[in-house]
């Protein structure tokens, strides 16, 4: 399965990192420090090594398969 990511036009934060950590935009002019993600230009994310076993469940983390 191919995964895509997106980059903020202002600070270069990636969408996947933002959704995991909820980091505000460091370069935003908006009071709430909103990101300006470029969803029109997806970045292909290289697949990570295939897992040979099911990962252990960690409290507070959600995994989609």
Assess if residue 18 is contained within a domain.
yes
Range of the structural domain that residue 29 is part of: 1-46
What is the count of structural domains for the chain? 1
d(CA 3, CA 19): 15
Assess if residue 58 is contained within a domain.
no
Assess if residue 65 is contained within a domain.
no
pLDDT of residue 6: 92
Assess if residue 26 is contained within a domain.
yes
Assess if residue 51 is contained within a domain.
no
Q: What does the pLDDT look like over 30-63, one tens digit per residue?
A: 888 889 898 888 888 877 644 344 455 555 666 5
CA 1 vs. chain centroid, Å, equals: 16
CB atoms within 10 A of CB 35: 22
Question: What pTM, to 2 d.p., does this model score?
Answer: 0.56
d(CA 12, CA 64): 25
């Amino acid at each position: 399965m191919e995964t895509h990511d997106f980059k903020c036009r202002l600070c270069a934060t990636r969408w996947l990192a933002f959704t995991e950590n909820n980091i505000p935009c460091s370069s935003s002019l908006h009071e709430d420090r909103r990101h300006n993600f470029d969803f029109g230009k997806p970045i292909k994310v290289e697949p990570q090594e295939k897992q040979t076993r099911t990962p252990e469940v960690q409290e507070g983390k959600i995994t989609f398969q």
